[in-house]
């Protein structure tokens, strides 16, 4: 009898650990000026704010996480070290510096990065002027322990702040079109590949720039639409609308407004492995101490369906 009990306990442990290892998570987080050096318009991230960022990520425990508004590599490595001290070790990383010299996009991963394709010098012509993609785009291929491979894009499109160079919405749309070209190139290179696009797109879903990235037809990306885990389950009154879950990711203090401008989008291949139950907006007390954005996370099965 003792042997049978031991065998059953061992079987349960194997089943539990195996099921946990069957999935992985991808998150995105605009960490609002995670800087270690002050510049003309941006302050150094306070120790309290940095600690809250670390605490939030350590609670979420994502396997892969993309960042926007990341500072220099020194600031990035400080965050990585702090996360390791908090029990979240990310051996693999990527940091992409674009035209903007202050804030960048970056990636931390528990999985090996098998290929890197940073896009740092992209530009476009708008009203006769040559303009540059401010933060560039991060593109990398990752491989999980099960052999499941996927490509991740990390983006941070032009803000909604007005600038002298051109109309901000037109600039953002041009950046979105360039990002969409990169996605299409990756799809053409590997039609059966898995793709996830994460980041701060700086606009709501039904806008020209966001729609440009989501695309049309066979190349349409699926919006995972993370929401708070608060029990909301009411269906929308209009079947064409999304449910009324709480999905906002950004608070704009000047307007006292809340909006969803951070996204996790996947192609059809990766949508087959998407687990809606493990996808959510991370809601916690005093979230605004860390950033004016809330992180979002999505879960996927580690096997091509």
Looking at residue 21, its pLDDT comes to: 65
Q: What is the pLDDT along the chain (305 residues), one digit of tens a residue?
A: 444 444 343 444 333 333 456 999 999 999 999 999 998 789 999 999 999 999 999 999 999 999 999 999 999 999 999 999 999 999 999 999 999 999 999 999 999 999 999 999 999 999 999 999 999 999 999 999 999 999 999 999 998 888 878 889 999 999 999 999 999 999 999 999 999 999 999 999 999 999 999 999 999 999 999 999 998 888 888 888 888 899 999 999 989 999 999 999 999 999 999 999 999 999 999 999 999 999 999 999 999 88
Within-domain flag for 14: no
φ, ψ of residue 51 to 5 degrees: the values are: -65, -35
Find all residues with CB under 8 Å of 267, minimum gap 6, and list them. 183, 187, 193, 194, 195, 196, 219, 221, 222
Within-domain flag for 12: no
Within-domain flag for 175: yes
Within-domain flag for 8: no
Long-range CB pairs of 34-40, under 8 A, 24+ apart, other chains included: 34/67, 34/69, 34/70, 34/71, 34/75, 34/76, 34/79, 35/71, 35/72, 35/75, 35/102, 35/103, 36/71, 36/72, 36/74, 36/75, 36/78, 37/71, 37/72, 37/74, 37/75, 39/102
Nearest to 221 by CA among 183, 251, 185: 183
Assign residue 92 the CATH number of its domain. 3.60.10.10
> Residue 55: helix, strand or coil by DSSP?
helix
In this structure, what DSSP letter does residue 160 have? S
Query: How many domains in the chain?
Result: 1
Within-domain flag for 5: no
Looking at residue 198, its pLDDT comes to: 98
Within-domain flag for 44: yes
Within-domain flag for 2: no
Domain limits at 57? 24-301
Within-domain flag for 7: no
């Amino acid at each position: 009898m003792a042997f049978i009990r031991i065998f059953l306990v061992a079987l349960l442990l194997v089943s539990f650990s195996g099921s946990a290892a069957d999935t992985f998570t991808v998150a995105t987080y605009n960490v609002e000026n995670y800087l270690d050096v002050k510049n003309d318009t941006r302050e150094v991230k306070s120790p309290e704010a940095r600690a809250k960022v670390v605490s939030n990520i350590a609670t979420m425990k994502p396997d892969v996480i993309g960042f926007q508004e990341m500072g220099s590599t020194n600031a990035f490595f400080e965050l990585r070290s702090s996360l390791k001290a908090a029990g979240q070790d990310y051996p693999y990383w990527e940091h992409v510096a674009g035209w903007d010299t202050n804030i960048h996009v970056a990636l931390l991963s528990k999985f090996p990065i098998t290929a890197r394709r940073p896009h740092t010098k992209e530009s476009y012509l708008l009203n006769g002027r040559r303009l540059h993609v401010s933060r560039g785009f991060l593109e990398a291929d990752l491989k999980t322990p099960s052999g499941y491979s996927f490509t991740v894009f990390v983006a941070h499109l032009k803000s909604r702040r007005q600038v002298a160079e051109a109309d901000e919405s037109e600039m953002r749309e041009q950046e979105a079109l360039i990002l969409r070209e990169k996605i299409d190139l990756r799809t053409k290179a590997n039609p059966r590949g898995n793709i996830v696009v994460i980041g701060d797109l700086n606009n709501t879903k039904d806008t020209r720039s966001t729609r440009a990235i989501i695309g049309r037809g066979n190349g349409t990306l699926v919006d995972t639409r993370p929401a708070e885990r608060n029990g909301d389950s009411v269906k929308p009154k209009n079947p064409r609308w999304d449910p009324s879950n709480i999905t906002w990711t950004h608070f704009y203090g000047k307007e006292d407004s809340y909006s969803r401008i951070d996204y996790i989008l996947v192609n059809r291949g990766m949508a087959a492995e998407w687990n809606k139950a493990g996808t959510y907006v991370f809601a916690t007390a005093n979230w605004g101490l860390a950033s004016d954005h809330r992180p979002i996370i999505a879960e996927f099965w580690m096997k091509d369906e």
